[in-house]
Structure 1
Amino acid sequence: MTDPMPSPDAAGAPPRATGDIGPAAEPLQDLVDHARQTHVVVIGGGIAGLVAAWECAKVGMGVTLVEASDRLGGTIGSARIGGHDLEMGVTCWSTRGGAVRRLVDEVLPGAPVVTPRDDREWIAGLPKGGGAPLPAEQVLGIPANPWDEDVRRLIGWDGTWRAYLDRLRPPLTIGAQRSLGRLVRSRVGAKVRDRLVAPLTVDRFGLDPDDVDVEIAAPGLSNALTRTGWLGGAVADVRVGATGAGIEGLDGGMPQLVAALAGRLAERGVVVHTDARATRVVRTGETWTVALETATSSAVTSGEADAGPPADLLADAVVIATDEAAARALLAPALGAPEFAGVPPAGIPREVVTLVVDAAELDAAPRGAHVHAVAGARVATGLVHETARWDWLARELGPGRHVLRVAFGAPRGVPATAPLTDADAAALAVAEASALLGVTLGADRIVGAHRDAFTLAPPASALGHRDRTAEVRAAVERAHGLATVGAWLSGSGLAQVVADAREETDRMRRQVLWGAAATE
C-alpha cells in the first residue's frame, strides 16, 4: 500500500538519535517508521493539493497525487502571448499571515521576492466620465474623511455632505449590521456604497457589497463604530497603527512556485498522476479506497517509469483538494452524506482577457496598477496594469509594450465576453481598457491576447460562507484520516488557501501519525 520512499534523512525526517540518548531514541524511530509506512492520496493538483502533498511528504509519508487535468498548478499557470511567456491566473499574494512567504522560503529558498513598484488604485466609470484615485485613508473603500478631495471627486458634493451627516447621528442609532453594503448605505449614503465600496468588492471578489460580511472583511470596524459613533471615525480608528496587508510576487512569475513544489515532491518520491480523475472515495475498515478514471494518464515520479495509476488506490489517509462541485461529489460517499452532493457550488463565473499592447502612452502608468469600474458603468469590472505593477515584467517587455488584464463578470451575472469569440473578446477588452485607463487603444495596438474562463471562489468574507462550509468541516474532522482543502472552504486568495491547506493537512497528519482524536 505504500510507495517506495527515500531514507528518513533524505525525506526531511529527523535521523535516529545515537550516543548517550539511549532508549529515548526508540519512540522517535517508531514515529519515523510509522510515517514511512503511511500512504496518503491527495486528490487535486492545484496549489492547495500541492501544499497538502508537500506537508505529508516532507515528514516522510508516502504520497500519491492525482490531478484530473494535464498539468499541475490550478489557477497558477502561464501562456505564450505576443512572443512572451506570461503568468496567468494568480500573479501575486497577500502578505497577511505570512503563509505564502514561508512556503516560498521553504521550497524555493533564495527566490527573488518582489513588491509592486506601483500599487496605486483608481476608480473609473463615473457618471461624467473620467476617474479618480482611490482615497488613501479608507477601509474597503469607506473613507475616513468625506471631505478629502479624492473622495469628493468620486461622490460629489451631495455625496460628501450625506457622508458627513453620519457624524451627527445620535450614537443610539448604531446597531449590529453584518452586511457591508447595508451598513455603508445606512450610515454614509448610497454614493459611498456605489462609487467607492462596490467597485472594490465586485472587481476583487465578484461580490455585491450587500453580500460581504463586514465582521470578517474588516475586523474591528463594528466595534470601532460603537466607540466613535460614526463610520468615518471608525475607519480612522481601525487604521491607527495598522500596517495593512501588502502584496508580494516572484521576479519571473508565480509558475516558479508550482515548479518548485513539483520538484520537491519528486525529490521525496511522490508519485504524481495527471489526466486521472478520482470518481469515488470510500472507507472500508482502516483503509480508504480512491477509484480513478483515466484517459491518457501520465505520471511524474522520482525517476521511475510508470504506465499510469491503477483503477483503485488504497490509502491510510486522503486529502481532497478539488473545486467545490468535485469535492462534494467525493465527500458524499466518503462520509455517507448524500446530501452533500446536492448542494450547488457557490462559484462566481469570471473571464479575464490578457492583452499585450504597444502603447508608449502607458509607460507613465496614468492610472496606477489597478483600475476598478463603478458597478454598471462598464461591462468590465476592472483591470490590472501588470507592467505598471511589476518592474521585472516591464524590464522584460521593454519600453512601450504593456500587459493589461481585463476582468469580466458581475455578481449573479454572466461575463460579457462569455458568448463572444476570442477575437471579439479581445476587441471588447481593448475598448474597456481604453475607457478604464483614459487612453485610446485601437485593435491595431494588440500584439497578442489570451482569454481565460474560470470560477472564482467566494472570499471567506462572503455572507453565509462560514455557515455554508461549517457542516462540511465538522463532518470531515470526524472522519479519521480525511482532510478537505481548497478555496471553496478557505475563501479565495492564495494566502488563505495556503494557510488553510497547511493547517488542515497538519490536523489530519497528527490524527494519523499520533492517533489524535478526530475532533482535536
Structure 2
Amino acid sequence: MSDDPRDSLNHLINDDPTRVVIIGGGMGGLVAARDLARPGFEVVLLEASDELGGSVQRLDLDLADGTKVTVDAGAESFATRGGHVAKFIDELHLTDQVVQPNPAGSWLQLPGKAVPTPKGGMLGIPSTPLATDVIAAIGWRGALRAYLDRMLPPLKIGQERNLGRLVSRRMGRAVLENLVAPVTTGVYSADPDQLDVAVAAPGLNPALTRTGSLSGAVAELRAGGPSKAGSAVGGIEGGMWRLAYTVITDARRRGAELRTGARAVDLELAAPRVDSAQPNGGQRPRYLVRIAGQDDPIEADAVLIDAPSAEALPLLASVSSEIEALAHADWPQATSVELVTLVLDAPVLDAAPRGTGLLVSDRVDPEFATAKAMTHVTAKWSWVGEQLPAGRHVLRLSYGRAGRASDTEAMTDAALRARALRDAAALTNIPLSESMVVGFARVRWQNAQPLAAVGQRERLTSLRAAVEKLQGVEVTGSWIAGTGLASVIPHAREAAARIRGLRWRKLTDSDGS
C-alpha cells in the first residue's frame, strides 16, 4: 500500500464509507439525511409509518363535485426567527416561492365574545396594557390591573420560572386567562402554569429587571421586530409539504436510502469495528439497529435518532445505563391533536369575519364550541383560494388540549364532521349548514412534549450530557429541539455536522495530522 496519505484518504472516501442510520423520518431526520448524504457516507433512514415528513405532509381532498384541493395536513407555516429556515429554503431553491400570510391577523374567542388578537404582544403578554385592542379583550378593569405592572418593583433577586405565575403577579388574571392562556395552548398545547419563562420567552426575566416592568420587557424584546400578527411567519406557495417533498427528493438524489414501514425496535452497542485506516488497526464504536419483523440488524458507525421521546428514550437506554436511569424521570406527556379540515361552499365567509382564524380560550363553554383553534385557511393563504371557485372556503379546526383526554378519537367521521361544522358556525358567528360541506378530512397528530415545560430544561440538560458520552450517537426532533421548524431544522443540521466531524477526525487521524 502506498505511503502517500492522500491514497489513504481516497481509500476511506471511496471504499470505507461511514455508515449512518437515522431512526425517524420527520423533518429533523430528513434534513439530517440530506446533509449527511455525501461522498464518504452511507445513509439509511428508517421511518416506522408509511409517510415521510412527520407533521409536514400534504392533504389531498376529493370534493363532492369531483374536483380536488391540496392543503397541508399539519404544519402550514414556519417561524422566521433566526433565519434558519429561510437559509435552508434558499439552499433548496424555494426562496421565490415563500409567501406571507394575510396581515389581517387572528382573533381570540373569549367567553361571550370574540375580539381581534392585540398587536404588539409576546405570548399574549401586552407591551401596552392600555391599548385599545387590549381593553377590547380584557376590559378597562383588566387593563388597569395590567397597567399596575408599571408600578410594581422589578424582580432584581432571582427570577420567576413559572410563566403563569409571573403574568398573574405582574398583570393579573385577566391577562393570564384571556390573552396568554389561549396563545400558549395554541403554540405549546400547554397551560401557562406548565411553562418555564426562560424557555418559552428567552430573555424576558432579564429584560424585566432592566426595564422595571413586564410590559416594558415585552416592548424591549420586540423592538425592531414585526408589529403585526402573522408577520413573524412565512409559508410556501402550494403548501409547506413541498418543503418536505423537496428535501426527500434531494436526499435520495444524493444517495440516501429512505425506508418507510421500518420501525427500529432495538439499538445495540456491538463489538467495536476494526478501522484498518487508523494506525495499529484502531477501533471505533459499532451499533446494531434492529427493525421489527426483520432478522438481520443494520450495522452502523453512527446513529441519529429523530423519534418521539417515548420511542427515543428506550433506544438510548439500551446503550447507556445513565440514560436508562434518566428514562424513568417524570417526562411531560405528549398531547394528541386532531385536525379537522372542512371545505364549504359558503360565500358568506368571503368577508373573513374572524380574520385568519381564532385561538379559543379554554374557559369558553363547551356547549358553545370545543375546538381549541380554527384557521380560516383561504383567508390566511391566498394560494389556497386560487385553487377554488368563488365562494368556496377551507376551514381547519384543532381539537385536543394538554392534560385532557381527547374525546374526538372515538368519534365517527360523521359525528366529528357535525361537531366541526357546529363549532365553525359558532366561531365565525355565521350559520353554516351541512349542505354547504363539499369536503371533509381528519388527521391526528401526536404533539411533542413542550420543551418549555417547567423542569424539562433540566431533564434535557442531563440527557444531552449523557448522549455526548456516546460516540457516534445524536438525538434530534421537536421534543428536544423545540417547537416548530425554526427550532428543528438548525438542531438537526448541527447534529448531522457533528456526525460528519467524526469522519473528518478519522480522516485526519489516518495520516497522522
Shorter chain as normaliser: what TM range? Answer: 0.7 to 0.9
Distance 1:363 1:234 in 2: 39
**1:420 correspondence with 2:419:** no
Give SS of 2:261's match: strand
Q: Alpha carbons of 1:331 and 1:170: their partners in 2 closer, same or farther (altered >3 Å)?
A: closer
User: 1:64 maps to which residue?
Assistant: 44
Alpha-carbon deviation of 1:223?
A: 2.1
The amino acid across from 2:19 in the alignment is H
Query: Alignment partner for residue 189 of structure 2, among 206, 217, 222?
Result: 206
User: 2:133 maps to which residue?
Assistant: 150
Deviates more, 1:269-278 or 1:104-113: 104-113
Alpha-carbon deviation of 1:458?
A: 3.2
User: 1:370 maps to which residue?
Assistant: 357
Distance 1:292 1:236 in 2: 51
Deviates more, 1:494-503 or 1:165-174: 165-174
User: 1:130 maps to which residue?
Assistant: 113
The amino acid across from 2:212 in the alignment is G
Q: 1:348–1:458: 8 Å Cα contact kept in structure 2?
A: yes
Alpha-carbon deviation of 1:446?
A: 1.5
Query: Alignment partner for residue 322 of structure 1, among 303, 307, 324?
Result: 307
Distance 2:165 2:391 in 1: 44
Alpha-carbon deviation of 1:492?
A: 1.8
User: 2:147 maps to which residue?
Assistant: 164
**1:351 correspondence with 2:338:** yes
Cα shift readout 1:216-252 (whole Å, capped 9, x = no counterpart)? 2223322222233222222223222234872111111
Structure 2 runs not aligned, ≥5 long? 273-284, 509-513
Give SS of 1:458's match: coil
**1:179 correspondence with 2:146:** no
**1:191 correspondence with 2:174:** yes
Q: 1:108–1:260: 8 Å Cα contact kept in structure 2?
A: no
Alpha-carbon deviation of 1:199?
A: 0.7
Alpha-carbon deviation of 1:415?
A: 2.6
**1:290 correspondence with 2:277:** no
User: 1:7 maps to which residue?
Assistant: none
Distance 1:312 1:362 in 2: 55
Distance 1:341 1:220 in 2: 30
User: 2:212 maps to which residue?
Assistant: 229
The amino acid across from 1:229 in the alignment is G
Alpha-carbon deviation of 1:150?
A: 1.1
Q: Alpha carbons of 1:239 and 1:273: their partners in 2 closer, same or farther (altered >3 Å)?
A: closer
Q: Alpha carbons of 1:516 and 1:131: their partners in 2 closer, same or farther (altered >3 Å)?
A: farther
Q: 1:48–1:498: 8 Å Cα contact kept in structure 2?
A: yes
**1:434 correspondence with 2:419:** no
**1:96 correspondence with 2:85:** no
Distance 1:310 1:63 in 2: 20
Q: Alpha carbons of 1:109 and 1:87: their partners in 2 closer, same or farther (altered >3 Å)?
A: closer
Q: 2:28–2:489: 8 Å Cα contact kept in structure 1?
A: yes
User: 1:305 maps to which residue?
Assistant: none
Distance 1:474 1:32 in 2: 31
Distance 1:341 1:219 in 2: 27
Distance 2:302 2:494 in 1: 16
Q: 1:329–1:340: 8 Å Cα contact kept in structure 2?
A: no
What TM-score, normalized to structure 1?
0.86
Q: 1:205–1:459: 8 Å Cα contact kept in structure 2?
A: yes
Deviates more, 1:471-480 or 1:410-419: 410-419
The amino acid across from 1:47 in the alignment is M
Q: 1:104–1:111: 8 Å Cα contact kept in structure 2?
A: no
Considering only aligned residues, what root-mean-square deviation do their CA atoms show, in Å?
2.5
Distance 1:475 1:31 in 2: 30
Alpha-carbon deviation of 1:57?
A: 0.4
Alpha-carbon deviation of 1:332?
A: 1.3
User: 2:26 maps to which residue?
Assistant: 46
Q: 1:459–1:493: 8 Å Cα contact kept in structure 2?
A: no
User: 1:276 maps to which residue?
Assistant: 262
Matches within 5 A, 1:234-273: 234-243=217-226, 246-273=232-259
Q: Alpha carbons of 1:110 and 1:145: their partners in 2 closer, same or farther (altered >3 Å)?
A: closer
Q: How many residues were matched structurally?
A: 478
Cα shift readout 1:324-344 (whole Å, capped 9, x = no counterpart)? 111112111122443355455
User: 1:76 maps to which residue?
Assistant: 56
Q: 2:80–2:86: 8 Å Cα contact kept in structure 1?
A: yes
Distance 2:157 2:382 in 1: 46
Structure 1 runs not aligned, ≥5 long? 1-22, 295-308
Q: 1:108–1:257: 8 Å Cα contact kept in structure 2?
A: no
Alpha-carbon deviation of 1:122?
A: 0.8
The amino acid across from 1:451 in the alignment is R
Give SS of 1:430's match: helix
Q: 1:113–1:250: 8 Å Cα contact kept in structure 2?
A: yes
Give SS of 1:98's match: helix
Cα shift readout 1:377-412 (whole Å, capped 9, x = no counterpart)? 042111111111111111112321111111111220
What TM-score, normalized to structure 2?
0.87
Q: Alpha carbons of 1:472 and 1:391: their partners in 2 closer, same or farther (altered >3 Å)?
A: same
Q: 1:95–1:248: 8 Å Cα contact kept in structure 2?
A: yes
Distance 1:93 1:143 in 2: 23
**How many percent identity over aligned positions?**
39
Matches within 5 A, 1:5-44: 29=10, 32-33=13-14, 37-44=17-24
Q: 1:480–1:512: 8 Å Cα contact kept in structure 2?
A: no
Distance 1:240 1:515 in 2: 46
User: 1:8 maps to which residue?
Assistant: none
Higher relative contact order (CA 8 A, sep 6+): 2
